Amino acid sequence: MFVLGIEAATPVAAVAVVRGEKVLAERMVNNQRTHSVNLLPMIKAVMEDAGVTRQDLGGIAVSSGPGSFTGLRIGMATAKTLAQVWGLPIVGISTLEALAHPLTGQGGLICPILNARRDEVYAAVYRTVAGKLERLEGPMAIRPEELARRLESRDLPVTLLGDGVPVYGEFFLKQLGGRVLLAPGSASWPRGAPVAELGYRRLVAGEGMDPLKLLPDYIRLSEAEVKWLQKQKG
């Protein structure tokens, strides 16, 4: 089965095509252009690179959050429109799980963190069990101080990755000391290949769904929604 994976939940736009769990083609950009400009040309190019057409695809996987509200909306709208027009099943993949997936097999805890602003991070905590990721906590929007306390209570080494690392990495090093490993930047940006690979597994397991039923996982309300609710209460 060929699967198209789309990632747009962060400032990175990434697209990949896999056949089973073999990556055939992948592209990623982290530039100033919006995802609405980047995604469709990238999808076209990656499918050409992989040598597949829409008739070859067995499904589409898309990063479903948490992450940037605008990026999530663009990525989800793009994936759902293509799935509906092409008559394909779709699956949503946690942005945090897709980040952690390439580190499957690593000892200790794996904790992807995304900068959620408002002095919070989006985070989840994973470990490898029997060759697969097991989620221990999350996904959640949480203050770094509280996340540090939770990680400290587990008394295991932890690898942090994601775009929250440049912002909060030094804080976690100070709080947790030698138990923390900060993943390099190249491992901290979401990619299309893990989204596609995880999507393949779920599609094979029969978890594909009608694109109209797939919803993003924002975790918390947007700033505009919070202000609107405050205004209504006032």
3-class secondary structure per residue, 66-88: CCCHHHHHHHHHHHHHHHHHHCC
- Lowest mean pLDDT across 29-33, 39-43, 176-180: 29-33
pTM: 0.93
Name the phi and psi angles at 81, rounded to 5. -65, -45
pLDDT-derived band at 210 (thresholds 50, 70, 90) equals very high
Question: What confidence tens digit (pLDDT) does each residue in 114-157 have?
Answer: 999 999 999 999 999 999 999 999 999 999 999 999 999 998 99
Average pLDDT of the chain is 93
Cα separation, 100 vs 94, in Å, equals 10
pLDDT at 229: 47
Residue 172 reports pLDDT greater than 70: yes
pLDDT at 226: 45
Stated as kind and residue range, the H or E segment containing 3 is strand 2-7
pLDDT-derived band at 222 (thresholds 50, 70, 90) equals low
- Count of beta carbons in the 10 Å neighbourhood of residue 229: 11
pLDDT at 141: 97
Assign 62 to helix, strand or coil: strand
Q: What interhelical angle do 165-176 and 144-154 show, nearest 10?
A: 50
Who's near 133: CB < 8 A, 6+ residues apart? 97, 100, 101, 104, 110, 126, 127
Residue 225 reports pLDDT greater than 70: no
Q: What percent of the chain has pLDDT over 70?
A: 94
Residue 224 reports pLDDT greater than 80: no
Could you tell me if 107 and 157 are in contact, meaning their C-beta atoms sit under 8 angstroms apart?
yes
pLDDT at 165: 97
Distances (CA, A) of 35 to 10, 17, 39, 184, 191: 10, 18, 6, 24, 14
Question: What is the pairing mode between strands 22-29 and 13-19?
Answer: antiparallel
Of 166, 201, 197, 190, the C-alpha closest to 10 is 190
Residue 146 C-alpha from the chain's centroid: 22
Stated as kind and residue range, the H or E segment containing 226 is helix 223-233
Question: What is the pairing mode between strands 57-65 and 2-7?
Answer: parallel
Residue 203 reports pLDDT greater than 50: yes
Tokens 């202000």 -> residue: 227
Distances (CA, A) of 52 to 3, 20, 25, 49: 10, 14, 10, 8
